[in-house]
Amino acid sequence: MDLMKYKGNKRYNNYSTFIKSNFEQRVQKISLDTGFTCPNRDGTKGVGGCTYCNNNSFNPDYCKPQKSIAQQLQEGIDFFSKKYKSQKYMAYFQAYTNTYSDFELLKELYTEAVSHPDVIGMVIGTRPDCINEDIINFLSELSKNYYISLEFGVESTINRTLELINRCHSYADTEQAYELAVNKGLHLGAHMIIGLPGESREEILNHASALSKLPISTLKLHQLQIIKNTMMAYQLKNTPEMFKLFSIDEYIDLMTDFIALLRPDIIIERFISESPIELLLAPKWGGLKNFAIVDMIDKKLIEKDLWQGKHYI
């Protein structure tokens, strides 16, 4: 059993250990909203956006596009510094597609973010089809002085699923985006939704093998959540047979098998997402918090004698 590579009491590479190992003090992400949209919202590729998407499910109160990046950062720092007096910050460009704008404006916003004296880096969330060489090269330059993470919304490795959820890009676009961004000094991340309509357990586990072939450093996983005021909310009401929503026990069992198939060096940033209870339609897991579910995953890995990469080929 090759568990020596994993630090602490985890059977996988976890993000908090990675952060502690790479920075001398606590690091907090500050979410920012640029006010950008997406090509599957503005008509460039489609309208309506992804069928699961309601950005109100994860934007904090201080994160408003009417405010400048500097103001959002400072309000976020003021909020978090009440609890932790000594820490540094990551500017987290989170809502919608944060490379989908004029290149000169992007440079201005990114530069404004890293100019704050307490900001040591950026995390930029975007789509695989909204990246180009100019953006990559600029971020590569910034990475010489800052931690720069570029996180692509992969969501699924299956084209029929991407079409069904109105992503308006293919998995080939995902592979091409990583190929463009690799070896440029950037920490590359991926975001996946587990349990999208029509995907079998076997297909979900196959995502782990496909993701392991990508040059990613970090991975965010979370269960499919049906949020109010989305197309999926309408679909759940009118065509509920589309969905196979996991119970908490089913999801934990699936995650442990997923971990075992994953490339051993990938850092797992999260396993679940917690949407505001007032917006969440399903699944409802009795208010279980992230840390409680992580603890259940840790125990299930021990019970099944699994660890990250045990079944990786």
Name residue 159's amino acid: N
pLDDT in tens, 272-294: 998 888 999 999 998 888 899 99
pLDDT of residue 61 exceeding 70, the answer is no
Per-residue pLDDT at 188 exceeds 60: yes
Q: Collect all residues with Cβ–Cβ distance below 8 Å to 112 and sequence separation of at least 6.
A: 68, 69, 70
> Which residue has better confidence, 131 or 1?
131
More confident residue, 133 or 63: 133
**Mean pLDDT on 183-191:** 98
State yes or no: pLDDT of 268 exceeds 80.
yes
User: Pick from 57, 63, 222: which is nearest to 153 by CA?
Assistant: 222
Token pair 């930029």: residue: 124
| CATH code for residues 15-304 | 3.20.20.70
Q: Nearest to residue 208, comparing CAs of 126, 308, 297?
A: 308
Average pLDDT rounded to a whole number, residues 86-111: 94
| Residue 55, pLDDT above cutoff 90 | no
Which pLDDT belongs to residue 81?
87
Any idea which residue has 């907090």 for tokens?
28
Of 52, 88, 292, 2, residue with least CA distance to 195: 52
- Angstrom distance (rounded) from CA 296 to CA 33: 33
Q: What are phi and psi of 297, to 5 degrees?
A: -65, -45
List pLDDT tens digits, range 16-53: 999 988 988 899 999 999 999 999 999 999 999 999 99
Q: For the chain, count helices (H), then strands (E).
A: 10, 9
* Three-class SS of 238-257: HCHHHCCCCCHHHHHHHHHH
C-alpha 170/C-alpha 154 separation (Å) is: 9
- Digit-coded pLDDT (tens) for 125-149: 999 999 999 999 999 999 999 999 9
- The CA R_g of the chain, rounded to the nearest whole Å, is 19
Task: Identify residue 33 by its one-letter amino acid code.
Answer: D
